């Protein structure tokens, strides 16, 4: 990989498949290990001390610390994630890294190998100056962001940083606040009988439909009362409903999934209690990702802003919130647009990528 050419570097990163294995990845050998090994070699070539830290079997974080000319400096972490979403349904070759029409194409071009290439390009440009900067510079390629955020959780438990920049396609704006998520699975159980005598059974779909109506009438209005200046209101959406096995059998099982978007200050346990009240007969399983809020008066956010990266909020979530939850001021920042993330024809423009390299170079020089 050639870190001195950001376009070539991004093409190389895209050509290394690193699809998250959750769900249907669309590849026969998913996971981040191959990319982590390539990044290890690249970072060592830039003079960093590098570790591959396995988080899940065969799925490591790659963590690098650059030399510093004195101890005790504040620690700055640049942290893009190494996994991508599935390639199922893509309309372009997912791992070509082709440069065409002023764009670099392929899975991860925007989310988040483009921001990664911009960060690495800046580190390469400043290789000889990094030890003299006012911060000790770290880089981490974090596995598992697209499902579970396991890499960020592992590193946040291992190291403490004074400021974290999660690499994400933010149009070079500083996302210091974003929504979190609470993903809920509701399960209704019933009794299956022949549909010619439904009174002898217990219809799980009816239970689910009644519960969903109560959620619409009780929980959604309660969430809508919560509002954040930057992020708007908390929201709830029922995403899927699956139940029954055959038309002439009363269903004994029905499952629904619910997407709840949280704002800073929301209490997930209170929201689950609201769901339990609305659906007392249903089994409820949930997991979530925290919202983010880092005070925009933070000195590095102010510096980023002075360089043109204005502070903004976002409706999505990312690894920055994991570090912030452990007391580390964190933001998301990088070139490219979130509108291109996860798309069937994912790309980042060459211009955006090169602007990202220059931005991170200027930012690091200012430390």
Query: Which residues does the annotation mark as catalytic?
Result: 83, 145
Which alpha helices (DSSP H) does the chain contain, by range? 6-15, 33-45, 113-125, 150-158, 204-214, 220-224, 268-278, 299-306, 320-324, 350-365
Is 139 within 8 Å of 127 (Cβ atoms)?
no
Tokens matching residue 318: 């990312």
Q: Smallest Cα–Cα separation from 179: which of 321, 34, 341?
A: 321
Question: Which three-class secondary structure state does DSSP give residue 182?
Answer: strand
| Interatomic CA distance for residues 341 and 95, integer angstroms | 15
Is 172 within 8 Å of 333 (Cβ atoms)?
yes
Tokens matching residue 150: 């396991």
Question: Which three-class secondary structure state does DSSP give residue 215?
Answer: helix
Tokens matching residue 344: 């069937």
Q: Please name the residue that has the structure tokens 């991170």.
A: 360
What is the crossing angle of helices 6-15 and 350-365, to 10°? Answer: 110
What is the crossing angle of helices 6-15 and 113-125, to 10°? Answer: 140
């Amino acid at each position: 990989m050639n870190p001195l050419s950001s376009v070539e570097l991004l093409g190389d990163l895209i050509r290394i498949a690193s699809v998250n294995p959750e769900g249907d990845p669309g590849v026969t050998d998913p996971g981040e290990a191959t990319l982590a090994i390539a990044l290890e070699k690249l970072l060592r070539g830039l003079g960093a001390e590098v570790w591959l830290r396995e988080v899940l079997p065969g799925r490591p974080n790659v963590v690098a610390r650059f030399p510093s000319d004195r101890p005790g400096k504040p620690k700055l972490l640049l942290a893009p994630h190494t996994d991508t979403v599935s390639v199922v349904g893509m309309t372009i070759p997912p791992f070509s890294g082709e440069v065409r029409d002023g764009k670099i194409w392929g899975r991860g071009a925007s989310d988040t190998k483009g921001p990664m290439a911009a960060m690495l390009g800046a580190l390469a440009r400043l290789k000889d100056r990094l030890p003299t900067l006012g911060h000790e510079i770290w880089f981490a390629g974090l596995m598992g962001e697209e499902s579970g955020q396991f890499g960020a959780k592992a590193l946040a438990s291992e190291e403490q940083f004074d400021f974290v920049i999660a690499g994400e396609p933010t149009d070079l704006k500083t996302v210091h606040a974003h929504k979190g998520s609470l993903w809920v699975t509701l399960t209704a159980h019933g009794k299956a009988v022949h549909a010619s005598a439904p009174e002898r059974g217990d219809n799980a779909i009816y239970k689910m439909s009644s519960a969903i109506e109560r959620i619409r009438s009780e929980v959604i209005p309660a969430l809508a009362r919560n509002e954040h200046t930057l992020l708007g209101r908390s929201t709830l959406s029922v995403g899927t409903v699956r139940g029954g096995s055959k038309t002439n059998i009363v269903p004994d099982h029905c499952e629904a999934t619910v997407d709840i978007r949280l704002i800073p200050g929301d209490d997930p346990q209170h929201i689950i209690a609201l769901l339990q009240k609305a659906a007392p007969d249903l089994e409820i399983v949930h997991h979530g990702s925290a919202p983010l809020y880092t005070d925009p008066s933070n000195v590095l956010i102010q510096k980023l802003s002075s360089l043109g990266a204005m502070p903004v909020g976002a409706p999505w979530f990312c690894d920055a919130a994991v570090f912030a939850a452990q007391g580390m001021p964190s933001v998301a920042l990088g070139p490219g647009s979130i509108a291109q993330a996860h798309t069937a024809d994912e790309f980042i423009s060459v211009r955006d990528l090169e602007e990202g390299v220059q931005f991170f170079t200027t930012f690091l020089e200012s430390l």
